[in-house]
Structure 1
Amino acid sequence: MNALQAVEGQLEWAERPAPVCNAGQIRIKVAAAGLNRADLLQRAGLYPPPPGVTDVLGLECSGVVIEVVGNSRWQVGDKVCALLAGGGMAEEVVIEGTQALPVPQGLNLIEAAVLPEVYATAWLNLFVLGKLQPGEKALIHAGASGVGSAGIQLCKAFGNPCWVSVGSLDRLAYCESLGAQGGVLRGDGLEALRDFAPFDVILDPVGAKYAPLNLSILALDGRWVMIGLMGGRETTLDLAKLLSKRIHLMGSTLRSRSLEDKAQLLADLEAKVWPLFSSGSLSPRLEQSFSIKDVEAAFASLATNKVSGKLALVIDEHLAA
């Protein structure tokens, strides 16, 4: 099979041995794969796969089941999407059956390819770790990103008013169209977020640059969930404020979680979130898809930080059609 690797910073679509399918696993013929910031980091050598995980890029994909080994809920011919620790940008992928979800009714395979990573990330960090309760307020930094787009829609669907920080007026309007109450432009400074504070949960992919303000605008017993370090890794915090406000500060990554954790997370998504795609309450927010032949253009587009929503790589044009 062919697969996408990053070799010394360069992308290579080249032949690789097809993985073996063992008991409890399924083989998927990949139609499309979602592109995520983690793929940019892995290409740059800054986010290696966990031990034992393939170095093939891709944390999510969609396709058709072509092999099932042992007892499984899946059958050959089923259309699925999958959450992966790696390997999605390939002609085939082998996964545990618990890593797959059915394609939501009404969506095609390209749209389904961009769901698992961002919706799993948003659900985990806002509602599982962040423990958002109906009516509580959320702040989502980088609100127009893939995770931000998913998070805004989930907040709207589950009764949580949310605000965002973004890079432009166009992106703020985009977030408001998804259900955000409002927000601020990072170029203007974030102090205007105080007008909407206090927040019960902050979803933060930025890190050091926003940390002191986050601490000051969180509510009593607020939850601050850090999922990235786009704004640096070192900062100074007033720990007395952290203590007096009883703030819960959590670092969270999805990729390195155990298969058991991911299986439970996906089961929650299927039960509580997937039906909302069928009803139209949630949307994949797919901005653009690229052929695997144009993979360099796809990576360059994501690296501009101007994408609102998600990008997909089409691996098999006939299957995705």
Structure 2
Amino acid sequence: MATFSGGLPRARELLSERFGLTAFRVHQLKVLGPLLAGRSVLAVLPTGAGKSLCYQLPALMARSLTLVVSPLISLMQDQVAALGRRGIPAAYLNSLLSSAERRTIVDAALSGSLTLLYCAPERLSSLVRQLARAGREVSLLAVDEAHCIVEWGNEFRPVYRQLDRYRYLLGDPVTIALTGSATPGARVEILRVLRIPRAEVVVTSFDRPNLLFCVERVRDDRERFARVRELIRGGDGPVIVYTPTRRLAELVTRALLRRGVRAAPYHAGLTAGTRRRVLRAFLRDRAPVVVATSAFGMGIDKPDVRRVLHWGPPRTVEA
């Protein structure tokens, strides 16, 4: 079993020393208590609740590597950069790296020079085999966006459904699964797939009093587009418009551009380079409107988004 030296007292010291924070939030303590005692945890916490700290801080107390499985390329890049600024050795593996870059990072993980390693799902199988062959211990396995285990249609679902096998190959490390949304049924399935039936389950309120929700009825797509355009123009900041299909994302974007709205599409059918450029333009306010499928739905860290519009209802409540 992994050991996290020092328990909560040491965690509080590191919170101040490494992260510059004075106190944990209540739900973070509910997660860290059992985790630092060596128990696996499923944490269902809303966006902005400080989920990442729940595995980044224990990683500093672990005797070996913390492996973070995440489908969010932009988020893992941001977090590795932020950890580096705090003097915490971290790296990521994803499809944007060259084979030489990936080899360098894997070598660093095998040599023990990394504290945290973020891995995209498509790189997980190869990485786990190399860690297992080398006998490299993983003290903590963090599964971000754990709802991918149960969400049909998610492109990463097949890999997430095999996480129990990867856990076994890694020696069944203490595991923390994190998600911003999971129904009671989804929670049961996540625990079953990961084979952590006795894990502590931490669920907090999703009431966000700063958010306003409304539903509007329209007669047809012409009226729908007119209303979307009106809401975009009436907003006082960046806007995300979600569409159910890639084709609609392209069509709505072109229609907005014809009417002078600076918009860009984002969906899985675009090249990785194009998606990176669109994300960068959105984060830097060069493309204040992004019309996207759910491929844009996780890990977009932009605090000034003022409106999120849905062309139609999402496929699932969790989405």
| TM-score, normalising length: structure 2 | 0.34
Structure in which a larger fraction of residues adopt strand: 1
Bigger radius of gyration among the two: 2
| TM-score, normalising length: structure 1 | 0.34
